[in-house]
Each structure stands twice: as C-alpha cells, then as structure tokens.
C-alpha cells in the first residue's frame, strides 16, 4: 500500500498544494529514495496525478515520450498507487544494485513484431562489466516477486552510453 505523508515543512493551513513524501510502507525507502510531489486536491484526475508524479520523477529518471506513457498507464485502469509504486521500487532497487553513476530511462515501447505494448526501463551504466546482465536479471526477479501481477513494465538494458 502506498502511503502519502505530508512534508512537515509545509503549511497545513495554506490553500496551496502541499509537498508530500511518497513512502511505499517499506522502510528501505529512505533518504534520496524519497520523491516528493504536490498533494493534489480530492477532485484531481489520475492523469493530473501521473503528470505531477512524472514531472518530479524526472529528477531521478529520464523519461521519453511521457504523453504516451501516461496514456498507456491510464488505459490500464488501475489505482494511482498501483501505477506509481513500481517506479518507486525500481528506483530504489536499481540504485542499490548499481551504486555508481547510472541512468534509468523510462519509455513506452511498441514491439513491431509482436504488437505488444509496455513500459520499458533501460538501465545504463558507464561501463558494462561481465556480471551486469546478471544483476539486471536479479532486479527483474525481485520486481516480479514484489509485483507479480505487473506485466506492463519490462526492465532491461540497451548497453548504450550514459550520454545517449
């Protein structure tokens, strides 16, 4: 379950959107793993919440074709926490597995051969040691265990440089 915690530095009596911290309920989400975004009013749409979330996620990850990603996620017809939590978990586990400089790239992918559509998350690193792909497989396995019903995110690498 996704828990939204009000940032103590915000003014509770203000009518302006407040900053919150997203906490998945897992104590491992600490320090730099927190991502903040404004509290959205009760009548906010899932689309506006996703846009706000991805706008702030850009601090930690590179996002290509954001509009396509959001359209795809909306078509899944899931609660906002079910859409957001996998991205938070991926950020956490990838940064733990690869503590050196990495780049996490998120994009919607349309497979031309199978006609499958999904969110592709590429992990890039400066150098690709021999055990790099094994670590990617470990991340995928951990992700699959935690999100067994998630078939819409694929985690991999394209072996490109950090500058691409």
Q: pLDDT digit string (tens) for 47-76?
A: 999 998 999 888 889 999 999 999 999 999
Q: pLDDT digit string (tens) for 8-59?
A: 344 443 333 333 444 444 333 333 344 444 444 456 889 999 998 999 888 8
* Cα 109 to Cα 17: distance, rounded to the nearest angstrom: 33
Cβ 38 vs Cβ 24: under 8 Å = no
Q: Taking the domains of the chain in order of start, what are their residue ranges?
A: 50-156
What is this structure's pTM?
Answer: 0.74
């Amino acid at each position: 379950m996704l828990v939204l915690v009000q940032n103590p530095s915000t003014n509770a009596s203000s009518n302006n959107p407040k900053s919150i911290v997203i906490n998945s309920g897992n104590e491992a989400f600490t320090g730099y793993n927190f991502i903040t975004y404004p509290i959205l009013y009760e009548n906010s749409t899932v689309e506006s919440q996703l846009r706000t979330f991805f706008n702030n996620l850009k601090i930690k990850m590179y996002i290509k074709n954001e509009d396509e990603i959001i359209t795809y996620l909306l078509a899944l017809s899931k609660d906002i926490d079910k859409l957001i939590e996998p991205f938070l978990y991926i950020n956490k586990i990838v940064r733990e597995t690869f503590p050196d400089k990495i780049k996490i790239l998120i994009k919607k992918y349309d497979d031309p051969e199978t006609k499958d559509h999904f969110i592709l998350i590429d992990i890039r690193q400066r150098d690709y040691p021999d055990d790099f792909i094994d670590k990617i497989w470990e991340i995928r396995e951990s992700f699959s265990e935690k999100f067994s019903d998630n078939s819409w995110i694929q985690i991999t690498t394209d072996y490109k440089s950090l500058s691409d």
